[in-house]
Amino acid sequence: MTIREFMASVEARNPAQPEFIQAVREVVESVWDIYQDNPVYQENSILERIVEPERIITFRVPWIDDDSKVHVNRGYRVEFNGAIGPYKGGLRFHPSVTLSILKFLGFEQVFKNSLTTLPMGGGKGGSDFNPKGKSDREIMAFCHAFMQELFRHIGPNTDVPAGDIGVGGREIGYLFGMYRKLRNEFTGVLTGKGIKWGGSLVRPEATGFGCVYFAEEMLKTKGTNFNGKTVALSGFGNVAWGAAQKITELGGKVVTISGPDGYIYDSDGISGEKIDYLLELRATNNDVVQPYAEEFDVEFFPGKRPWEQKADVALPCACENELREEDANNLVANGCMCVAEGANMPCTPEAIETFQNARILYAPGKAANAGGVATSGLEMSQNSMRMSWSAEEVDEKLHRIMVEIHNQCVEHGKKTDGYIDYVHGANIAGFIKVADAMVEQGVV
Ligand code: NDP
Ligand code: 2IT
């Protein structure tokens, strides 16, 4: 079979799921040669099995708003692959959520979690619920309704959800509360929990911190670091916030953040109280960055993306396919030397090709943003031991894991001319561990 034939069969089996097909194609292209060289993988149809989720649950989520009106949303959990551990991955609450989006995220999560070196399978879930403009009581009502169905499918040794877009500490609290009530059990069934009731220190910052640690390793391969570098960030959520903190700490200057309304450019750098302000802005449930421009008297570019600005490093931290070919061309032309994905699949395939053709450093989300789920794994360990580690201890472990993921990318992705293909490196390293586990466990 050729790659083309394999992908044609995946497309035929998954019609109208473009994001899922995009994610599968990238992995299949990376691992194809290894697959051909390993008859055991072929005899076990590993590739055919690995692109098929083990289980997908969809369910109705009825809830009541503040005006007593009844709404119905759709809930999902995609339990993609459990060969190396309990299904693990976030929940996304956003109106753009479809099965295609959650299958792509679940598929990516399988390889990302494998890269973390921790025993976690891959999954993802969420709902097309739109948290924007909802009251706190409405958010609680929705989270409780969502968990009233999800609780029967998850558990600390089965499937351990966490946050993603639209699901942060507050939502995890409401979800956990309902799980605990229904099961009458206090277990580490969710990660991203409050610090006072089983959460891990550093988990809120972990994805952003991890992404910066990873980018630091990338810069090291060029004999440089963040000190004095300008950095363009997109998004202004959880991930962008943690990244901004760590970049500032390492001597870099964050000059942009973005929202669905546009982006702001702050030539003085987004640091200190301005980073805290990002959190306040997110807490308003309005999802706009324009107020930052008014608060700190900087320029706001409505409807634009930050990639038109000059920056040494770019970290896309908002959503999938937010950085396209023309954006990649702009970044390269403006001298950008390093792109690391804080979000999941934010760069289109054409943008990735542009970076790689220009031979600049580029790392995919499954490697660069794995620090979030890795720290979730550390939260699970702490819960199992009924202990909590200090922030320094967690941060040190997170740092070590990101360095190790970088090592794996170099080991499997370094080309003969010395260029590191982080896409191949991450996909191959992530794949081998899961594929071997599947072989050893037989056809299940
Ligand atoms: P948040 O909900 O905290 O923030 C996401 C923000 O990005 C929202 O403000 C959202 O606004 C905004 N956004 C959405 N689309 C766009 C767009 N096209 N342009 C600019 N901004 C946009 O989510 P997170 O920070 O948690 O997640 C961000 C990304 O990081 C996602 O891709 C997620 O999958 C990934 N990620 C998250 C991890 C985590 O631990 N939280 C771990 C690893 C990856 P709006 O809702 O109005 O669209
Ligand atoms: O995309 C991701 O890795 C996350 N949203 C975090 C998942 C997790 O289980 O912590």
Q: What is the DSSP code (8-state) at residue 420?
A: B
Query: Whose atoms come closest to the Cα of 86: which ligand?
Result: 2
DSSP string, 47-70: HHHHTS-SEEEEEEEEEE-TTS-E
Cα dihedral across residues 339, 342, 346, 352: positive or negative: positive
d(CA 247, CA 200): 22
Taking CA atoms only, the protein residue closest to ligand 1 atom 3 is 237
Taking CA atoms only, the protein residue closest to ligand 1 atom 29 is 343
For the chain, the structural domain boundaries read: 3-185, 206-363
Q: Of all helices (H) and strands (E), which one includes residue 362?
A: strand 361-363
Taking CA atoms only, the protein residue closest to ligand 1 atom 19 is 260
Taking CA atoms only, the protein residue closest to ligand 1 atom 47 is 287
Beta-bridge partner residues of 121: 87
DSSP string, 237-257: SHHHHHHHHHHHHTT-EEEEE
pLDDT value of residue 279: 84
124 catalytically annotated: yes
Q: Do the beta carbons of residue 71 and residue 65 sit within 8 Å? A: yes
| Ligand 1 atom closest to residue 263's alpha carbon, by position in its atom list | 20
| Ligand 2 atom closest to residue 161's alpha carbon, by position in its atom list | 9
Count other C-beta atoms under 10 Å from residue 415's C-beta.
10
Task: From 339, 113, 356, select the one nearest 243 (Cα to Cα).
Answer: 339
pLDDT value of residue 283: 78
Using a 6 Å CB cutoff, which residues line ligand 2? 88-90, 109, 112, 162, 164, 191, 344, 372-373, 376
**Is the CB of residue 188 below 6 angstroms from any atom belonging to ligand 1?**
no
d(CA 331, CA 304): 14
> Best substitution site from 124, 130, 165, 171 to test ligand 1's pocket, by max atoms within 8 Å of Cβ?
165
| Ligand 2 atom closest to residue 92's alpha carbon, by position in its atom list | 5
pLDDT value of residue 120: 98
Query: Whose atoms come closest to the Cα of 281: which ligand?
Result: 1
User: 105 CA to middle of ligand 1, Å?
Assistant: 13
**Is the CB of residue 287 below 6 angstroms from any atom belonging to ligand 1?**
yes
Q: Quick check: pTM over 0.85?
A: yes
| Ligand 1 atom closest to residue 320's alpha carbon, by position in its atom list | 32
User: 47 CA to middle of ligand 1, Å?
Assistant: 30
Segment 98-126, tens digit of pLDDT: 999 999 999 999 999 999 999 999 999 99
- List Cβ<8 Å contacts ≥24 apart for 129-135: 129/61, 129/73, 129/93, 129/94, 129/95, 129/166, 130/93, 130/94, 130/95, 131/93, 131/94, 131/166, 131/171, 131/285, 132/285, 132/286, 132/287, 133/285, 133/286, 134/65, 134/285, 135/66
- 137: its two tokens: 């009581």
| Ligand 1 atom closest to residue 234's alpha carbon, by position in its atom list | 20
**Is the CB of residue 109 below 6 angstroms from any atom belonging to ligand 1?**
no
- 341: its two tokens: 């994905």
Taking CA atoms only, the protein residue closest to ligand 1 atom 40 is 372
Taking CA atoms only, the protein residue closest to ligand 2 atom 3 is 373
d(CA 340, CA 346): 10
User: 153 CA to middle of ligand 1, Å?
Assistant: 26
Cα dihedral across residues 261, 267, 271, 277: positive or negative: negative
Contacts of 254 (CB under 8 A, 6+ apart): 231, 232, 233, 243, 244, 247, 248, 266, 269, 270, 271
User: 85 CA to middle of ligand 2, Å?
Assistant: 15
d(CA 372, CA 260): 23
| Ligand 1 atom closest to residue 342's alpha carbon, by position in its atom list | 30
The catalytically annotated residue of 103, 124, 229, 366 is 124
Q: Euclidean distance between the first and final Cα of the chain, in Å? A: 23
d(CA 76, CA 301): 35
**Is the CB of residue 166 below 6 angstroms from any atom belonging to ligand 1?**
yes
Query: Whose atoms come closest to the Cα of 90: which ligand?
Result: 2
Q: What are the two backbone dihedrals, phi and then psi, of residue 303, each rounded to the nearest 5 degrees?
A: 70, 5
Give, for all 444 residues of the chain, the pLDDT tens digit.
Answer: 999 999 999 999 999 999 999 999 999 999 999 999 999 999 999 999 999 999 999 999 999 999 999 999 999 999 999 999 999 999 999 999 999 999 999 999 999 999 999 999 999 999 999 999 999 999 999 999 999 999 999 999 999 999 999 999 999 999 999 999 999 999 999 999 999 999 999 999 999 999 999 999 999 999 999 999 999 999 998 899 999 999 999 999 999 999 999 999 999 999 999 998 988 887 777 778 999 999 999 999 999 999 999 999 999 999 999 999 999 999 999 999 999 999 999 999 999 999 999 999 999 999 999 999 999 999 999 999 999 999 999 999 999 999 999 999 999 999 999 999 999 999 999 999 999 999 999 999
CATH number of the 3-185 domain: 3.40.50.10860
| C-alpha torsion 376→378→383→384, nearest 10 | 120
CATH class, domain 206-363, is: alpha beta
d(CA 358, CA 381): 41
Same fold: 3-185 with 206-363: yes
User: 162 CA to middle of ligand 2, Å?
Assistant: 6
User: 77 CA to middle of ligand 2, Å?
Assistant: 13
